[in-house]
Amino acid sequence: MCTESGVLVFLIIANRILKLIQIIAPILAIIALTFWLFKKVQNPDDPKILKRIRNSVIALFVVFLLPFIAKYVINIAATQTNAGHCLEPEEWESLKEEVFKPAKYIEIDDNVEHKPIVPNPDDYEYGNPKEESGSGDTITGPSTGNAFYFLNVGASSDAILIQDEGKFGLIDTGIWGKGSYVVKQLKKLGVSTLDFVLITHAHGDHIGGYNKVMSNFKVKRLIIKAGGRTGSYTAGSYRSMIKKAQKNGAVICDAESSGCQSFTLGNIGFRLYNTKFINTPKLSSANRCRFENANSLVAVATLNGRRVYLAGDIGNYFGYKRESIVAKAVGDIDVYKVAHHGYVSFNNHQDAVNYLKSDYAVITNGRKRSNSALSRIRRSVGKTVPAYYTAERTVVMTVDTAGNIKFIK
């Protein structure tokens, strides 16, 4: 299965082991060859030494080729298994280039003091927010200290930290192998307690850092589609996350429950969409895993009259037009966290972006390649839409008391 197999973790570990073999094994073989050549000079008539020299040459050749062969076999095996098909497109491209080459991500200065960041208005550039309905005036005003951090944690991956009035919430936890880095970033931003962790869906690029986050911070609530523990292709991952949260004292907030579909963080109001869990339909193994994206929770955050649409990986998968249905229900927004890292095979459907009409786009991928998605968004509003990529840096956004949306320079 997709996340239960731990395929990404296995590939990362295997890659590191193979690299060590490539470095160490030839050195040992060369040392052995040198030793027996020296012995041959001392004893030129000893036939056993010649045989050992030959064996050393063969060993040198084998240990040099073995890692390349092993990588090739791993790649072939991945393509023939359900786990391989569950890789996201960004991860799949990396896999084809080299056995899961981790994307670059931004290091944080270890000297930064551990305290909450209150955004400084001078560090942000003003956008062009929509006019308030009926007023006709463009609104200006100071920052209030709220912030949305779209964290750069490598590859195509979501980990979105939201802050207001000293409170923090986290939507998704990043990709496999980067859990410690997510924890490091959160601590640098002054997080000790998370009012909530919201999991959009159980794919490795959204839940990869979950255990690390739950082990390092007090989490008050886990917001999740609890039905996934019985009906999902990745049911084991849902069960594991819920069990971990319960063990750590977090309240399980089932998104299907009406009491969990609206909540606040400071002055920010949240409304959840696509909350009903859809049992995995009878599809091929690869498509059942992909269908998990259709179950993505969508969160709409509202602050100072502005609406931020946090899409997870929702899409119109296999006739289930979840993305278009949700977008129609939500309507006009201001900021769009683009669905599925900018991919457009099943996501960012033109109907959906026409309903949303966003003024800004935030794209969480590691390679800055989303022209098709941006073209669709542009067509929906009839103008160029500013886009911010986590491929370049952690994207930080704030909304001041008068509704001005600002992004860090």
The verdict on residue 26 lying in a domain is: yes
Q: Quote the pLDDT of residue 126.
A: 33
Q: pTM of the entire structure?
A: 0.73
Residue 88 shares a structural domain with residue 226 = no
Q: Quote the pLDDT of residue 259.
A: 93
367-373: average pLDDT: 76
Residue 192 shares a structural domain with residue 78 = no
Rounded to whole angstroms, how far apart are CA atoms 4 and 243?
15
Q: Quote the pLDDT of residue 7.
A: 57
Q: Quote the pLDDT of residue 28.
A: 77
**Domains: count for the chain:** 2
Q: What is the mean pLDDT of the chain?
A: 80
The verdict on residue 87 lying in a domain is: yes
pLDDT band at 282; cut points 50, 70, 90? confident
Q: Can you give the CATH number for the domain in which 172 is found?
A: 3.60.15.10
Residue 181 shares a structural domain with residue 279 = yes
Q: Quote the pLDDT of residue 68.
A: 72
Of 51-55, 69-73, 80-84, 363-367, which one has max mean pLDDT?
Answer: 363-367
Q: Quote the pLDDT of residue 75.
A: 62
The verdict on residue 110 lying in a domain is: no
Q: Quote the pLDDT of residue 10.
A: 67
Residue 199 shares a structural domain with residue 346 = yes
3-state secondary structure the chain: CCCCCCHHHHHHHHHHHHHHHHHHHHHHHHHHHHHHHHHHHHCCCCHHHHHHHHHHHHHHHHHHHHHHHHHHHHHHHHHCCHHHHCCCHHHHHHHHHCCCCCCCCCCCCCCCCCCCCCCCHHHEEECCCCCCCCCCCCCCCCCCCCEEEECCCCCCCCCEEEEECCEEEEECCCCCCCHHHHHHHHHHCCCCEECEEECCCCCHHHHCCHHHHHHHCEECEEEECCCHHHHCCCHHHHHHHHHHHHHCCCEEEECCCHHHCEEEECCEEEEEECCCCCCCCCCCHHHHHHHHHHHCCEEEEEECCEEEEECCCCCEECCEEHHHHHHHHHCCCCEEECHHHHCCCCCCCHHHHHHHCCCEEEECCCCCCCHHHHHHHHHHHCCCCCEEECCCCCEEEEECCCCCEEEEC
Residue 403 shares a structural domain with residue 274 = yes
237-266 confidence digits (pLDDT tens): 999 999 999 999 999 999 999 999 999 999
The verdict on residue 115 lying in a domain is: no
Say how many residues make up the chain: 409
Residue 164 shares a structural domain with residue 203 = yes
Rounded to whole angstroms, how far apart are CA atoms 356 and 311?
11
Domain end position, chosen among 53, 81, 97: 97
Residue 103, pLDDT above cutoff 60? no
Q: Quote the pLDDT of residue 37.
A: 79
Residue 156, pLDDT above cutoff 80? yes
What residues pair up with 222 in beta bridges, in sequence order?
Answer: 197, 252
375-401: average pLDDT: 91
Domain end position, chosen among 97, 131, 157: 97
Residue 314, pLDDT above cutoff 50? yes
Residue 207 shares a structural domain with residue 302 = yes
Residue 205 shares a structural domain with residue 272 = yes
User: Is residue 394 a contact partner of residue 152, using CB atoms and an 8 Å limit?
Assistant: yes
Q: Quote the pLDDT of residue 30.
A: 79
Residue 329 shares a structural domain with residue 250 = yes
Comparing 315 with 48, which gets the higher pLDDT? 315
The verdict on residue 29 lying in a domain is: yes
The verdict on residue 103 lying in a domain is: no
What residues pair up with 197 in beta bridges, in sequence order?
Answer: 170, 222
Nearest to 196, CA basis, from 273, 293, 266, 296: 266
Rounded to whole angstroms, how far apart are CA atoms 373 and 355?
14
The verdict on residue 102 lying in a domain is: no
Residue 166 shares a structural domain with residue 244 = yes
Residue 138, pLDDT above cutoff 50? no
Domain end position, chosen among 97, 112, 147: 97
Comparing 241 with 104, which gets the higher pLDDT? 241
Comparing 15 with 336, which gets the higher pLDDT? 336
Residue 82 shares a structural domain with residue 195 = no
Q: Quote the pLDDT of residue 108.
A: 36
332-356: average pLDDT: 94
The verdict on residue 173 lying in a domain is: yes
Q: Quote the pLDDT of residue 109.
A: 35
| Range name among 127-131, 348-352, 390-394, 404-408 with the lowest pLDDT average | 127-131
Domain that holds residue 54: 7-97
Q: Quote the pLDDT of residue 369.
A: 66
25-58 confidence digits (pLDDT tens): 778 777 877 887 777 777 777 777 777 777 777 7
Residue 229 shares a structural domain with residue 304 = yes
Comparing 179 with 270, which gets the higher pLDDT? 270
* Beta strand pairing call for 360-363 and 316-317: unpaired
**What is the residue type of 342?**
G
Residue 334, pLDDT above cutoff 70? yes
